[in-house]
């Protein structure tokens, strides 16, 4: 692990551009960072992309792994880097010498991603950790999918948030994506009541129309553990759905 990242994770503080200590927050954990690195070592992406820089923890993990792939490039999007985050994320990347591989866009992701699509940019890996509402995350995924090559992987953070969990269920039920990896800290066991409802949905068809899709097709059946904190999806094919395709999610 590079010394800047190691020092930040050990101390729990980052340094502002003028050297003041600032408490670290909102970042991915080391376990999640290592999982992102494993994926990058496997995929060897030429171009990767990240939504949500903050103090730069995920970007430090990603760039460290990308350094093993010659001529790789990492595109980062965050509208609040110089304001809310005081430029600390970019400064951390600069301190390790990653500025030569990064391309930074200080814009909301829906604008930056659509511009990248218009430019014909293609990517092999993406990490989405921006605005955590359902609609923003879905739009991030929508545009990332437009950029992502078949065989590429998109990882999403904070997938236990109800808003983001729904997006994950949408991806595996409605799009040509499979689960590539997931990270879960809590070994979640459904309650007896929930298990009974899930069972009922299996054996009694009319119940499927009444119950929430989460009961009819639990997360495990979709390939990931309930309450997973990070899920990586592999793009299996380009989108060939009929114009009015829809599956409950």
What sign for the dihedral angle of Cα 158, 247, 154, 78?
negative
Q: Residue 92 is encoded by which pair of tokens? A: 């951390």
Tell the smallest beta-carbon distance from residue 172 to ligand SAM (Å): 23
Q: Cβ closer to ligand SAM: 1 or 211?
A: 1
Instruction: Tell the residue number behind the tokens 């430029």, with chain if given.
Output: 87
Q: Is 155 helix (H, G, I), strand (E, B) or coil?
A: strand
For residues 167 and 197, which CB has a smaller minimum distance to ligand SAM in the complex? 167
Minimum distance of ligand SAM from residue 212's CB (angstroms): 27
Interface residues toward ligand SAM, by CB under 6 A: 26-28, 51-58, 77-80, 84-85, 108-109, 129-131, 136
**What is the smallest separation between the CB atom of 196 and ligand SAM, expressed in angstroms?**
37
Q: Provide the minimum distance between the beta carbon of 27 and ligand SAM in the complex, in angstroms, as a whole number.
A: 4
Tokens of 50: 């990240």
Using the minimum distance from each CB to ligand SAM, give the nearer residue, 12 or 151: 12
Residues in the chain: 249
Per the rule left: phi > 0, alpha: psi between -120 and 50, beta: everything else, 55 is: alpha
Helix (H) or strand (E) holding 205: helix 205-210
Q: Nearer Cβ to ligand SAM, position 79 or 226? A: 79
């Amino acid at each position: 692990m590079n010394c800047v990242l190691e020092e930040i994770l050990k101390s729990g503080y980052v340094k502002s551009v003028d050297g003041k200590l600032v408490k670290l927050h909102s970042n991915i954990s080391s376990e999640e960072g290592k999982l992102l690195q494993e994926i990058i070592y496997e995929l060897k992406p030429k171009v990767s992309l990240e939504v949500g820089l903050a103090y730069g923890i995920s970007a430090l993990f990603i760039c460290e792994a990308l350094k093993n792939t010659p001529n790789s490039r990492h595109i980062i999007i965050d509208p609040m880097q110089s304001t809310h985050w005081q430029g600390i994320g970019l400064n951390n990347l600069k301190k390790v010498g990653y500025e030569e591989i990064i391309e930074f866009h200080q814009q909301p992701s829906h604008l930056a991603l659509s511009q990248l699509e218009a430019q014909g940019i293609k990517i092999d890996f993406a990490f989405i950790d921006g605005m955590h509402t359902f609609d923003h995350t879905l739009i991030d995924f929508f545009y990332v999918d437009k950029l992502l090559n078949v065989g590429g992987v998109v990882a999403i953070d904070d997938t236990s948030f109800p808003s983001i969990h729904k997006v994950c269920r949408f991806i595996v039920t409605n799009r040509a994506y499979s689960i590539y990896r997931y990270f879960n800290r809590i070994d979640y066991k459904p309650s007896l009541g929930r298990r009974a409802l899930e069972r009922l949905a299996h054996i009694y068809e009319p119940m499927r129309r009444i119950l929430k899709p989460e009961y009819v097709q639990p997360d495990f059946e979709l390939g990931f553990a309930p309450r997973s904190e990070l899920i990586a999806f592999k793009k299996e094919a380009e989108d060939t759905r009929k114009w009015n395709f829809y599956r409950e999610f």
